[in-house]
Amino acid sequence: MRIIAGESRGRSLKSVPKEMMVKPISARIKKSVFDILRPRLGGARVLDLYAGTGAVGIEALSRGAASAFFVDADKRCVAVIEENLKRLGFADKGRASYGDILKDLSWISFRAGASDFDIIYLGPPYRTEDNTMLAYSTPSLARVAEANLLASGGVILLQRYKKEQVVLPVGFEKYREERYGDTDVEFIRKAAA
């Protein structure tokens, strides 16, 4: 995995061991999503949930985001993210933390040092180790909404399996959707009052 653009363009990220159930974002999806996000990146506060190697948040930092906070439920992923931040010179702009995204997320604002975020990326796993489909998108979005983590005018990007049914929290709306093979990325914002 490499950084596609920005100040760290072309530099590689450390990966997690293959036996871990981490599906990194593909280069095609990452390029497309960041082309769409380009006008929002300068000075943005980014929250990368189900962060894996930190590829999404680190790409945002490379492209001008002010800060990124990474959360993953596997401590080995958190260690890899911290190593990637140091290797690429972003340790002063990014922090990683262990946490269960399916539970209360109100602690994130305190640990991240930011009350809300301009860009939130959710990339929950699609399947378990025994290939059972998961449905983490709806509860994950609910936890983000309950903790009031999205800034006014901000965007949530939800990367999900195309057949997963998603129910948005009250007060949120999908305004764009991109499909890449079996993956959809939904662009979600707070609905107008």
- pLDDT tens, residue by residue, 96-149: 999 999 999 999 999 999 999 999 999 988 766 666 667 899 999 999 999 999
Which pLDDT score is estimated for 24? 72
Domain that holds residue 100: 27-190
CATH code for the domain of 52: 3.40.50.150
Whether 14 is in a domain gets the answer no
Q: How far apart, in whole angstroms, are the C-alpha atoms of residue 45 and residue 135?
A: 27
pLDDT in tens, 69-90: 999 999 999 999 999 999 999 9
> Is the residue at 9 inside a domain?
no
| Mean pLDDT calculated for residue range 40-61 | 95
Q: Is residue 63 part of a domain?
A: yes
Domain assignment present for 82: yes
In one letter, which amino acid is 144?
V
Asked if residue 91 belongs to a domain, the reply is yes
Is residue 22 predicted with pLDDT exceeding 70?
no
CA distance 116 to 113: 9
Structural domain includes residue 80: yes
Residue 7 covered by a domain: no
How many domains does the chain contain in total? 1
> Which strands sit side by side in the sheet containing 45-49, from one edge to the other?
94-98, 67-72, 45-49, 117-122, 150-161, 183-190, 172-180
Residue 104 lies in a domain: yes
**Is beta strand 67-72 parallel, antiparallel or unpaired with respect to 183-190?**
unpaired
Contact status, residue 122 vs residue 50, Cβ threshold 8 Å: yes
